[in-house]
Chains A and B, each alone.
Chain A
Amino acid sequence: MQLTFTRFPEDFFITVYELVGGHQEVLPTQIPDEQWVKPTFKCIQINKNEEDIWVLDEGKETMDARLTGPKKFDPNNTVEENKRILNNVLGAYRPIRVEAAEVKHNDGVQTFGYTLTEEDPLPKVDLEKLVKHKLSPGPKVAILKHMQPVLADDEKTVVKPEDVLILPGARGRKVTILGDNSRASAAMRKIARRSDVVVHEATLPDELKNTAVKRRHSTPSMAVDFAHAVNTKLLLLTHFSARSHPERNLHESLEKDQTYQNRVKKIIATRDFMTVRIPHGGFNENDVQCVGEDDEDKE
């Protein structure tokens, strides 16, 4: 029996990133050049750091995406329209840095956790202070935002960025998604520090902690331990076992348990199609906006 394509366009392109050099890596990784492999591959191998971290930096690709965004930038458009399009594209494609680290799961199965970190947005300018220091808004302010000193309008006094900017500025958002694990590694803890959202599995309830450890899965309390160590604001619990986590009291028991709540600010037991919206600059204190399926109409 041979399985074939009905239709195979030639202009298909796949990039495969391989995280090479993990602890449990066994086989050599390569894509063979055979007849039936028709799509064009680009295989990029990423080696790990000295700190056991794989880094996937977007820089170059992001520039490419900026130039070839989903909306067309046409010289025939009006200037305002073009500005709006460019702003949209630039806003949408803020570069994101992906880091990966290993976590401990079943033997022979290499498991990773990922963190995505957004670029820090540029700090804002206090307009009253601008007038005080005799600076008119213009390209000089843009230079100031990149933390470089600038001469004032009379070109005698030097204006430092600390004088004008509102510091500290906002942080970029950070999301962590872990694979199945019973114990996260030190490297994982390091890269996930102070992330806004952590997605952690909680396969079995706390009563079955021994079996969970045996199967290399974790319980809600273990997830809370990780979240506490990492200092997150929101913990999402997923990967519930159908047998041992009955659907009836799952949300109430997990979200309103006080032993958990003392350690992490907000816990949510997820269900399908639940959406969490992360605002610009990350979550503030006591400010977690969660958009369930039912709340979408109210926006």
Chain B
Amino acid sequence: MLLTSFSRPPVACASKALRSRKAGAANTSAFRLFSGNYHRPSVSSKPKKIQHAKSFRDRKVAPGYFASPCSAGWRSIIHNREDPRPYNSPSQQYALDEYFDHHVNVEQRMSQENKTNAFNGMDLTCLGTSSGIPTLLRNTSAYMLRLGGRAWLFDCGEGTQKQLLNTKIHHSDVERIFITHMHADHVLGLPAMVLNKFMSRTKVACHENTGIKNSTYAKMANRTRLEVSLLVFFYYLSPLKFALSHLSLSLSLSLSLSLSLSLSLSRCRYLAPQVCSTSWAQLCSSHLLGFRRIFLSQFTN
């Protein structure tokens, strides 16, 4: 199945090239590259338009796992692969349908929302409802409270930014982040979240006539503002360190931690070498201590 579909497109290309050479029009891609006629595409070498499915609503299963109407090229290679995971249960199908509907209609919704008045209520959105390990339909825990134009986050599990993309709130609108406790599934999204806040430099509008323009408050307001109400050991502002220091404590999460740590290490760009070394030293020492204890207990028993 896979092989046959792979062999088709190169054959088609070769035949096309042959045909064009016979006709005398030297418009193969290689020739064009060397002659420098980039801006003059010929009629014969126009790529065929790939036909997409009409809408995502027609699909009942995830893309990439079913045979699609598109014909040649890499698409067929991907889509003709046999389905490794059956989407038989109705709840899963339902969720996926919702997912596609949401993604298709994002632009329409944005335009509609701009026309209406500013949102004035109070909304509580669950961005993640799973415990230690994220599943296909659930992310690690994060909740968002929307108050007028601003949004407050409660906990920031890993992948919260990605979850935020599916809502109407932009990450620059996040004003405060509350953290309940320093377990990995509640905290690991924080470094990336803070970094992204750096990058998006939304400025708060300042009222000019009140005379507070030059005051410290106005200066503060003009800076990009993020407030992290954080609690237990928030020195160095690197939540990774807490995660590391609590590695040994949260045994129930150890498996998911090792995975998510590697991910967040690649993201976290402001981790100093000292911090890293000390925390690893702590970790190692704690593990060594643990081993010694185990050893001793066995010895005494």
A residues at B contact (CB < 8 Å) = 1-9, 11-19, 22, 25-27, 29-32, 34, 36-37, 39-41, 56, 64, 67-73, 75, 88, 91-93, 96, 98, 105-106, 108-114, 116, 118, 173, 175, 177-180, 197, 199, 201, 203, 215, 217, 236, 238-242, 247-248, 270-280, 291, 293-294, 297
Residues 93-113 of chain B, each 1 if its beta carbon lies under 8 Å from chain A, else 0: 001001001100100000000
- How many Å from the CB of B234 to the closest CB on chain A? 6
Residues of A within 8 A of B132 (CB): 241
Q: Residue on A with the closest CB to B98?
A: A293
- Measured in the bound complex, the distance between the Cα atoms of B186 and A111 in whole Å is 11
Establish whether residues A110 and B124, one from each chain, have CB atoms under 8 Å apart when the complex forms: no
- Measured in the bound complex, the distance between the Cα atoms of B272 and A34 in whole Å is 10
Establish whether residues A276 and B123, one from each chain, have CB atoms under 8 Å apart when the complex forms: yes
Residues of B within 8 A of A18 (CB): 230-231, 234
Establish whether residues B89 and A248, one from each chain, have CB atoms under 8 Å apart when the complex forms: yes
Establish whether residues A273 and B167, one from each chain, have CB atoms under 8 Å apart when the complex forms: yes
Establish whether residues B131 and A240, one from each chain, have CB atoms under 8 Å apart when the complex forms: yes
Contact of A41 among B120, B182, B209, B237 (CB under 8 A): B237
Establish whether residues A36 and B270, one from each chain, have CB atoms under 8 Å apart when the complex forms: yes
Establish whether residues B180 and A111, one from each chain, have CB atoms under 8 Å apart when the complex forms: yes
Contact of B181 among A71, A96, A105, A272 (CB under 8 A): A105
Contact of A242 among B131, B143, B178 (CB under 8 A): B131
- How many Å from the CB of A207 to the closest CB on chain B? 17
Establish whether residues B224 and A109, one from each chain, have CB atoms under 8 Å apart when the complex forms: no
Dominant secondary structure of chain A at its interface with chain B = loop
Contacts across chains A and B counted by CB atoms under 8 Å: 253
Establish whether residues B246 and A294, one from each chain, have CB atoms under 8 Å apart when the complex forms: no
Give the B interface residue count (CB, 8 A). Answer: 91
Question: Known interface pairs A199-B143, A271-B129. Does A4 touch B207 (Cβ–Cβ under 8 Å)?
Answer: no
Establish whether residues A75 and B209, one from each chain, have CB atoms under 8 Å apart when the complex forms: yes
Question: Known interface pairs A68-B221, A270-B126. Does A112 touch B120 (Cβ–Cβ under 8 Å)?
Answer: no
Residues of B within 8 A of A68 (CB): 204-207, 218, 221
Residues of A within 8 A of B155 (CB): 179
Among B198-228, those with CB < 8 Å from A are 198-199, 201, 204-207, 209-210, 212, 217-218, 220-228
Establish whether residues B270 and A272, one from each chain, have CB atoms under 8 Å apart when the complex forms: no
Question: Known interface pairs A239-B129, A240-B130, A274-B126. Does A15 touch B228 (Cβ–Cβ under 8 Å)?
Answer: yes
Residue B299 interfacial (CB < 8 Å): no
Residues of A within 8 A of B225 (CB): 13, 15
Q: Among B31-39, B53-61, B70-78, B146-154, which stretch is in contact with chain A?
A: B146-154
Contact of A5 among B129, B166, B181, B270 (CB under 8 A): B270
Establish whether residues B270 and A242, one from each chain, have CB atoms under 8 Å apart when the complex forms: no
